[in-house]
Structures are given as C-alpha cells and as structure tokens.
Structure 1
Amino acid sequence: MHLKIGSSQCLIASSASVAKDIMKDHDLIFSSRPEFDTSGYNIYSGSSFFLAEYGDYWRFMKKLCMTKLLGTPQLNSYIGIRWEEVQGLIQTLTKSYEGSKRVDMGVEFTTMTNNMICRMVMSKTCLGTSTDAEECIKLVGEVLDLAGKMRVGDILGPLKKFDLFGYGKRLGNVLEWFDTLMEKIMKEHEESDEIRERKDIMDMLLEIYRDPTAEVKLTRRNINSFILELFMAGTDTSSEGLQWALAELINNPKVFNKLRKEIDTVTGKTRLIEESDVPNLPYLQAVIKETLRVHPPGPLILRKCREDCTINGFQVKKETRMLINIYTVMRDPEAWKDPESFIPERFLSDSDECIGEHQMEMKGMNFRFIPFGSGRRGCPGASLVLNVMHTTIGAMVQCFDFPHDECKVDLEEGSGFSTTLKHPLMCNPVPRPNLF
C-alpha cells in the first residue's frame, strides 16, 4: 500500500511474505532508516546510531552492542541489578497493600525499568538519591514527546522549516540540557577514583573513546546520542510490554493459575524466581511470546530503500520510506489460528493449540513472528527486554494475586508510535500468604 499524508509518503508492508522480502531477501538494500527532518534543531543529527546510515560507523556500533555493551557477558554482569530492582518493586507493591492503596502498574513498571537502565548506564539510581539520574529520565521523557510531535510535522513539507508550533526549538533546548548533563556525568566517571565491582556502559564507551586503535573514533556526542537512544528504546517499551502481559494474565485467570503452578513447581515457595530459572519455565516463555505477538511495543518498523529494487512484484525507488506493520503481520488470520485471542499454548509443542509456533525464537527468522524486527537492523536490546519481562512477570505471578472487579481490564489501545494501554492499569496487588 502506498500512503501519502501531506508531503509525507511511504510504502506499507503488512504480510509475513513481504516482510521477509524486505528484511531478508533485500536486507542490505533496506539496511538504513530514514531520519526525520527536525529543521536543524537536533544536535545529534549525524551522531545517531539508531538512525545512522548503513556504513562503517553503524557496523562498528552494532558490533559493539552485540559483543560488549549489550552482549550476553555484559548483561549477565547486570543480573544483580535487575534482581534488586524486581525485589524493590515487590516491596513497593507490598507496602501499597498494607496501606490499602490502588497502584498504577504502569508508573511502577516504568520506575523500575528506568532505574535498571540508569544503574546499567551510569551506576546511578533515579529513586531520589541522584538528582542527575532523575533529571536524565525527565529529559528523556520530554524528548520522546517532542520527537513524536516533530514526526507528525513531517507532513507539512517545506512549511516544517518554520517550526510553526515551536516544537523544534523546544526539542533543541531539551537536547542541549541533556547533552550538558551527560557531559557532567562523563567527567565524573573520568575523574572518579572509585573502583566499581562492574563497569557500566558509560565506562565502556569512554574506554573506546580514549582508545587510539579503535576501528572508528567515537566522539563525546556519539556517546551522548547512544545513551539517549538506549533510554528511549529501553524504558517505555519494556514497561509497556510488562503492562500488556499483566493485563492479559488478569483477564485470563486460567493462564495466570497455570503459570503460577509452573513457577511453584520450579522454584518452590521458598525463594523468588531468578533469571536462571527461565529456561525451565516454558509456559512463562510462551506467555511472553504471546504478549509480544498480540501487543508488540514497537508495532511499526521503518526502513529506507538505498537503491531501486522490486518488492512483491512492485518497483520501489531509491530513498523510498518503507513501513513494515508488524502489528498486522502478527495478527494475520492467514498465518495464525484465532489471531486476536491471547493463547500462550500456541507456543508449546505439546499443546493442541500449537501449529508449529513453538519453534519460533526471538531472532526474527520466522517472519510471522518478528516483535524485535529482523536482519541487520533487528533490535540489539532484545535480550535485555526479554530478561526483564520474564523475571518481572514471573515475580508478579509468583508473589501477588490481582483481584479485579467483575469487568475485565480494558485493553483498549492508546495512540502514539508504540502500543500502549489507553487507560492506566490500576491494580490492588494482594501478597500471597505464607510465601517465602
């Protein structure tokens, strides 16, 4: 489908076969992303990893992500941080029950994921002990809001350069504040004599920045831009995924009880679920897969065509924007049985509901199931998101009951560039008696 809104236009792909044609058969041709014109207000234009053209810099940063920054060894070194944050969430929810308070789970999940990212990136917590980390989270939220408004302004064509609504100037100011804050934190890292038990992501980026033999010379602006993108991609998407998973479990008590039984069988009732338990919890894995299928946090994948080519029999010109609607792909009735229903059993090999989905991994090789994209531009942070989702949802089911009114949780979707719940997920978490 060719979509034109004002001066903005793109091609939209909404089937697994066309997604495969783009992200596998023609992956190199579609290995770049279009950068929205921010009318000169984006100080990180040209320094971005997420929007970088496919080339030496992008390949260097992708390799860095997969082998160091977000690779398995580094993520394993952060297991303690993630476990402590899940414990903190449990304590918060327990206190809310003791105080007879309803809880906005979206706020609690976002606080937890923000704190995880802050501690992994800069060894700071954003829960009142570090004004820098709190300010960082606030600025990231403002950038997300303004970036969305600037993208909508892309339809104005030549008029967008006049910044009619003032979003561009505001975005420029916020980015300058963020850059100044990151420079302050970088200098603290460089001047600190503290010996940390583990390197954070800023430590590793600064090591590469100082390395004269590095394949690509990183600038301080490259570092700041990468950290901003890490926050933007890692906090809201994880929080939204957690909200959708919990909402579906509340609305499907049979699934909830089946999952709790599996967790109790593996962990007993004497300890909290750990990441090392996840390989032995196939139903938990199925619940997370089904959540990501029905409610992908990033429902749209945007690519740019680098040269003329043919997709699905149609001529696609160089520089054309291609939007892959993975929300539609993963709800396609021709590819999925009862696609609108939440059925984790479809991902279990021994279930009657299964039609082969259990063989689907998160690597994006089966194009009916691509919650993190596929190919060169697949999400480098997928492993981190999955680690957080598995253990957090496992802990929620293990530790709390979530009684709800006779009506189910309202699963109406909100507007925006990510799949969000339109209404806050308000809960009364009740701690399980005699647990631990």
Structure 2
Amino acid sequence: MIIELSLFAILLFLAFFTRKQWHHQLPPSPMALPIIGHLHLLGPLIHHSFRDISSRYGPLIYLRLGSVSVVVASTPELAKELLKTHELTFSSRKHSIAIDRLTYNSSFAFASYGPYWKFIKKISTFELLGNRMLNQFLPIRKQELHHFLGVFYSKSKVGESVNITQELIKLSNNIISQMMLSMRSSDTNGESEIARTVVREVTQIFGEFNVSDFIWFCKNIDFQGFRKRIEDIYNKYDGLLEKLITSREQLRKKNRSNEVVHEAKDFLDIMLDVMEDKNAEIRLTRNHIKALFLDFFTAATDTTAITIEWALAELINQPKVLEIAREEINKVVGNGRIAQESDNPNLPYIQAILKETFRLHPPIPMVARKSIQDCKINGYTIPANTLLFVNMWSIGRDPKYWKNPSLFQPERFLKSNIEDDLSSSIDIRGQHFQFLPFGTGRRSCPGISLAMQSLPTTLAAMIQCFDWKVVNPPGVELNIGDHHHVLDMTERPGLTAPRIHDLVCIPVPRLPSDVLDPVCAN
C-alpha cells in the first residue's frame, strides 16, 4: 500500500512538474491527471466539452488526451490565424485506428498535404465535382427529388408516418450513387441498406473515443471492442465495393471488345481511367478508389441529410419562420409546379435558413487539423504533431460574434437586415472565420457547389409540398423553452452531429393533386 501511494505521489509530481515546465510556452490548460491527462474532462459530445473548458481557461487551450497533444481554438480571430496565416503548418489531418483501416490508408479527406492529396483535389474540383459533371447529373437530381417527394405523397394518402431521417439519407445516397456508379442505391439488389448503414456507422465510429488511439501502451489492447466493430464495417463495405468495381471493369472490357463508346462518364469510370493511365501524375490502386468512394459517400450522404433534417426541425419548432419561407416560395414558384434548382437564386430566405442551420447545427461541429511543425500563436508554442480543433459549434453560439446566438433567426443573413449588416454579408466559402460550414483554404470541402445546388431545392420542395405532423418517440420528454417547440434538439455523438432521435412525421399535402400525382408516379 505504501509503495502504491509513493508511486502515485511521484506520478502527480511529474505531471505537475511537466505542466510547470511548459506553462510559459503552451496555451492555458487544466490540471492533468497521470496517464489519462484530460480525458476525464470530456463527455460524449466533445465539442460541448471543449466549449465548457474554453469558457474557464480561454479561447486557446492545450489539452493532453492520454499521450496525444491537443489545442482547441474558439474564436474567429484564432481560426483565421491557425487556418489561414499558418495554413501549411496545420495542413495535415488526424488519424486513428478506425480511419486508417476503413480508408485503406488512402483517404483523400485524411491524407497529408502532398502530391497525392493535390492530385485528388484537382480531379475532385475539375472532374468529379466540376460544372460539367454537376450539369450532367442535374436531371438525375431532379428525378431523385421527385421520387423522394413521391414517398411522402404516397404515405400522406393513407395518413401514415414517415421516417424523414431515413428518407433523407436514402435521397442523398441515391444522388451520390447515381453520380458515382450511374445507379440508384436501391438498384443494388438489397445492398442499398448495407451502403446506408455503413455511412452512418463510419461517421459515428470516426467520431467516437477509442482509448487505444490516445494511450500509447493501450495501442494493441481492444478494451472497447472497437477493432471488431471496425472489421465488421470494413468487411461489409469492402465486399460491396469490390463487387461493384469488378462488375464495372468487366463491362468496360466488354464494351471495348465490342467497340462501344460511352461519352457520359460517372465517378467510377473517371477513377478507373486514371488507374489505367500509365502516364498519370499519381498511379491509383483499387484501394485508392475504394477509399475515395468512402470519402464521397460519407461526406455527401450524412452531412447533407443532417443539414436538411436540422433545418426542417427548426422550422417545425418555429412556425413563424416556416410561414415566411412558404410566402417566399409561393411568390417565386407558385403552387402549379415544384421548386427546382433554377429557383435557388430567387429564394434568399431559404438560403438564409440554411446558413442559420449551419451556424447553430454545423453537421461537422469542429474543423480538425494536425500540425506538421512547431509554431507560435499569440506568444504560445504549439508543438509539431499536435491535433488542432477549431470549435465552430462554439463560435456559432458565441454572443461576442452573433446577436441573440441561441435563437434561430435566418433574417440575420439577409441583405435587408440593417441591424446586423456584418452577418448579412457573410458567405459560406470560408472567407469569414466565424462561419466555416465547408471549412476554409486548401482543405475546404470540394463538394460545396453540389451541396448548395441540392440543399436549397430539397428544403424548399419539402416545405412547399407538405405540412409535417410530428410523431415523437415514445417516452421522449422535451426540454421546451416555449410552447412552439415540439421536437427534441439534442445531438448524437460522433464525427458528425445529427439529432439524437430520428425525425418521424405524418406528411399532409399542400399542393393540388394534379401537381403531386405525377411526382408520385416517379
């Protein structure tokens, strides 16, 4: 017993001594515990925990999570300093056991800034997500949106409820499946459910805390059963992708032998062309293609569905805002047709609703980077290999930068908003550091154009076509600030931040049957 106490005292002394030794260099930090560091201060919603710690120790804090050094920034000024001024210093991304395994160590999203990342960024920007590809698949996006609305219309005829969360994931998944594979995910003979499940499982496990990633001597010990979950996800995903790639390779070989040429190419064709090009800047492998598919499926499916769900949930809780949105749609679109992408520039209030949703409910609540060298920030030293988290969720709710930050007020983003002219001029493309829904700089999301074409149209069509009668899960008690709030706005842990409960509603048609009947026929 005496020996154990002595060892504990030594560990405490070392922790205290190390803290004092670095105190003049590292940003402010709470007292760390031996071995685990500050892990005991983190709850399931890590961006909430970071906000709470920052409120006590300042906007730039240092944490030691096990054996991993972490810096958290919580102001736009620091975000600009770290992500713009020192962009190259923080040009890398964190890795974990789950990320390395599920991305085949070949992910574009998590790759280090270098030749491979630059090559894929160029292909993504000009080929995979360029204007030509977006225009090519415009009819597909319209068709998928109408099919999506048709599901609700069919249910409305018999007064049945619909799980909107699941349908939004299906819509996003179908659109990206069409762009990547020229097929709807529901055309994969029952495998669509595997694909949709994998997307949510991947984003969830990427954001969960795995002790083996943070405490060095636990690296090879699977305390929490993570490795089994990772392997299950990997096997499902790899088997599905291998089947799809092999099938496409056989089709391409058959077409070549029959001298059949298809000018319209999807993502898979483009990537296979690159893989077969012996003169390409970077030689791609099958694992590279599989990793890129995971990147695009997770980025385009989960975050898009989450944004629409949060927006609709806020509108259901704020009927006055919903009514203003419907007045705008009625003025621009009318009730003789369904909103479409060409209407987007004429729907500024819908755009403002999405911006306000990004502010309060960023689908990825923190911008994450990793330093590749030491640097100085505000007189503090941030060592190389330190994880950086810019807490955009916290910045979006800070009264220093937003008037009435806890309120859902799309008007703050309208040009006619004289009272808050600064907010009304903020865009989404990473130039305003209090608002970075798609990141900023070299590592900003390449899918921003696709997102901002499909998101406004989907939201506008949903609120134009239907009223939504909420069906809350049994036993859910709401923490309601006023009588309008009928939905629980609690978040679920993970890399992304969706609502903890699925959104289930009974749709009630608002448009004439002669407008909605053709949609249902799709």
Counterpart position of 1:119: 178
Counterpart position of 1:235: 301
> Structure 1 residue 208: deviation in Å?
1.0
Counterpart position of 1:216: 282
Mapping of residues 239-318 of structure 1, within 5 Å: 239-318=305-384
Residue of structure 2 aligned with 1:29, choices 63, 77, 89: 89
**Partner Cα separation in structure 1 for residue 216 and residue 411 of structure 2:** 48
Structure 2 residue identity aligned to 1:84: Q
| CA separation of 1:264 and 1:156: change in aligned 2, threshold 3 A | same
| CA separation of 1:408 and 1:173: change in aligned 2, threshold 3 A | closer
**Partner Cα separation in structure 1 for residue 111 and residue 353 of structure 2:** 34
Structure 2 residue identity aligned to 1:334: K
**Partner Cα separation in structure 2 for residue 162 and residue 396 of structure 1:** 48
Counterpart position of 1:424: 502
Residue of structure 2 aligned with 1:66, choices 125, 149, 153: 125
Mapping of residues 7-156 of structure 1, within 5 Å: 7-38=67-98, 42=101, 44-127=103-186, 130-149=189-208, 151=210, 153-156=212-215
**Greater alpha carbon shift after TM alignment, 2-11 vs 402-411:** 402-411
> Is the Cα–Cα contact under 8 Å of residues 165 and 305 in structure 2 kept in the other structure?
yes
Structure 2 residue identity aligned to 1:250: I
**Greater alpha carbon shift after TM alignment, 73-82 vs 84-93:** 73-82
1:409 alignment partner, SS class: coil
**Partner Cα separation in structure 1 for residue 199 and residue 348 of structure 2:** 35
> Structure 1 residue 156: deviation in Å?
3.3
> Is the Cα–Cα contact under 8 Å of residues 417 and 424 in structure 2 kept in the other structure?
no
1:30 alignment partner, SS class: coil
1:307 alignment partner, SS class: coil
**Partner Cα separation in structure 2 for residue 312 and residue 247 of structure 1:** 40
Structure 2 residue identity aligned to 1:418: T
**Partner Cα separation in structure 2 for residue 317 and residue 378 of structure 1:** 24
2:328 alignment partner, SS class: helix
> Is the Cα–Cα contact under 8 Å of residues 21 and 312 in structure 1 kept in the other structure?
no
Counterpart position of 1:434: 512
> Is the Cα–Cα contact under 8 Å of residues 34 and 303 in structure 1 kept in the other structure?
yes
Is 1:337 the counterpart of 2:366? The answer is: no
Identity %: 38
**Partner Cα separation in structure 2 for residue 37 and residue 252 of structure 1:** 42
> Is the Cα–Cα contact under 8 Å of residues 286 and 345 in structure 1 kept in the other structure?
yes
- Residues 364-387 of structure 1: per-residue CA shift (max 9 Å, x gap): 001011111111111112222222
Aligned residues: 435
Is 1:392 the counterpart of 2:470? The answer is: no
| CA separation of 1:150 and 1:201: change in aligned 2, threshold 3 A | farther
1:355 alignment partner, SS class: helix
2:363 alignment partner, SS class: coil
Mapping of residues 377-388 of structure 1, within 5 Å: 377-388=443-454
**Partner Cα separation in structure 1 for residue 208 and residue 500 of structure 2:** 18
Is 1:412 the counterpart of 2:471? The answer is: no
> Structure 1 residue 282: deviation in Å?
1.0
Structure 1 residue identity aligned to 2:501: H
**Partner Cα separation in structure 2 for residue 101 and residue 135 of structure 1:** 25
2:186 alignment partner, SS class: coil
- Residues 79-135 of structure 1: per-residue CA shift (max 9 Å, x gap): 112111111111111111112112221111111111111111112222255334443
Structure 1 residue identity aligned to 2:345: P
**Greater alpha carbon shift after TM alignment, 257-266 vs 185-194:** 185-194
2:415 alignment partner, SS class: coil
> Structure 1 residue 414: deviation in Å?
2.5
2:446 alignment partner, SS class: coil
- Residues 258-301 of structure 1: per-residue CA shift (max 9 Å, x gap): 11111122222211111111011111111111111111000011
**Partner Cα separation in structure 2 for residue 55 and residue 291 of structure 1:** 33
| CA separation of 1:145 and 1:244: change in aligned 2, threshold 3 A | closer
**Partner Cα separation in structure 1 for residue 200 and residue 494 of structure 2:** 14
Which structure has the larger Rg over C-alpha atoms? 2
Gaps of 5+ in 1: none
Gaps of 5+ in 2: 1-60, 472-483, 516-522
Structure 1 residue identity aligned to 2:247: E
1:206 alignment partner, SS class: helix
Q: Give the alignment's TM-score, normalised by structure 2.
A: 0.79
| CA separation of 1:152 and 1:343: change in aligned 2, threshold 3 A | farther
1:163 alignment partner, SS class: coil
**Partner Cα separation in structure 2 for residue 348 and residue 71 of structure 1:** 28
User: Aligned Cα RMSD in Å?
Assistant: 2.2
1:161 alignment partner, SS class: coil
Residue of structure 2 aligned with 1:200, choices 266, 289, 297: 266
1:402 alignment partner, SS class: strand
